[in-house]
Structure 1
Amino acid sequence: MSEIRLSWSGADVTVTDEYLEETRVSVNMEQSRAFRDWRVPRAIELAQRNLEAAEADNASEETQATLAMYIGELYIWQEDGELVEPEVKAS
């Protein structure tokens, strides 16, 4: 199983290609502009909350996994042409 390292807003996470592919399928299925206009900012908000929680509790495994999930989702939205600020970077 291959993995990719992503960074967003100072957080570095690793997500599997499998997770990204599943998320990509979901994003590709959702072409509604209204949904995208709601979901992308909501995913940013949830990622930020989890980033703050990770910093507060010394990055518990559960919080880190949730943060990775949201950053992975943001990466796929960004890849699909949506504006994500700050940008998700892959390495």
Structure 2
Amino acid sequence: MSIYQALKGDNPNDPTLQTVSISLDSVASLDATARTLSVHPNTVRYRLKRATEICGGDATDTRETYVFSTAIMLGRLRDAGLWRDNGFQQV
């Protein structure tokens, strides 16, 4: 299973993907992520820990953030129909 699919999960109300994505955009700042999501920083910690358990990689580790960012970007492109396994789709 891909990182993106694992973060996205089966439940459309699962906030894990959104939390990781915003955390990456906030340069892993718990406080900035919490403010953006209107939740307590401990909630962000819990969700990021859950993402680590699901994916096996640490979304807060600066060396692994590139992998998470790339996986999320490609997953969103695939969901939008703009990416196929053999490359970009002609638009």
What TM-score comes out, normalization by structure 2 length? 0.31
Greater strand share, structure number: 1
What TM-score comes out, normalization by structure 1 length? 0.31
Asked which structure has the greater RCO (Cα within 8 Å, sep 6+), the reply is 1
